A = this chain, B = another copy of it.
Amino acid sequence: MGILYAMKSRRSVREYKREVVPLKKIFEILDAGRYAPSGANQQPWRYIVIDSEELKWRIRREAEKADKKFHESAPYWLQRWFKDQGITLEKLFLTEAPFLIVVAGFTKAPYWLESTWISIAYMTLAAQSEGLATLTYTPGSTSFLNDILDIPREYCPVAIIPVGYPSEAQKMRKRTRKSLKEITFYNKYGRGFIK
């Protein structure tokens, strides 16, 4: 799949089919993540692939608990956005998706958070290229993942990425983006670049 096409056709997916995903595709996704650039080439990312139903349920319960606080203290505009998007405290995707990839970063590496998110971008694009949907989901707090998955404390979990085939409804969702003109400037902030 062409790279620009992958970027422009990808959308965040919150509903998954229970269809089996070939393991080969999961390997491709993980392999892509590994090629991200990183601060001092420290490659601070670690991936934990989860397909255990029991673990998925434990993660979902804890994530929903962590998000409750986040949702309740969210500003009004964000609460409204959640409502408009149909985003509730039920994180179905954490148990519906056949695979979850938990991504953690080694917090002692320079620019570990930035590097780890580049790696996440690589994986979600590789998934798209493999015909699979993803979501970059970060619960309101993530330390419960250290406990559940035995992740050492110097690694900070930053995202749970569900991987699977999107539901039909999710495929149809529209995506909105600001125009290039709104976000791009020339030599000074505020000076137009795009006509």
Contact = CB atoms under 8 A, between A and B. Distances in A.
B32 A7 contact: yes
Contact of A55 (B37, B50, B136, B187): B187
Number of copies: 2
Interface string A90-112: 00000000000000100000110
Given A31-B180, A113-B113, A118-B117, A185 B49 contact: yes
A158 interface: yes
Given A4-B32, A34-B180, A180-B30, A187 B121 contact: no
Contact of A114 (B55, B117, B122, B176): B117
Chain B CB count within 10 A is highest, among A55, A81, A118, for A118
Nearest to A46: B183
Interface stretch (A61-69, A147-155, A164-172): A147-155
Contact of A129 (B4, B43, B50, B193): B4
Given A3-B129, A121-B36, A178-B34, A43 B187 contact: no
A12 interface: yes
A45 B71 CA distance: 24
A144 interface: no
A28 interface: yes
8 contacts: A3-B32, A3-B125, A48-B186, A48-B189, A49-B193, A114-B138, A114-B159, A122-B125
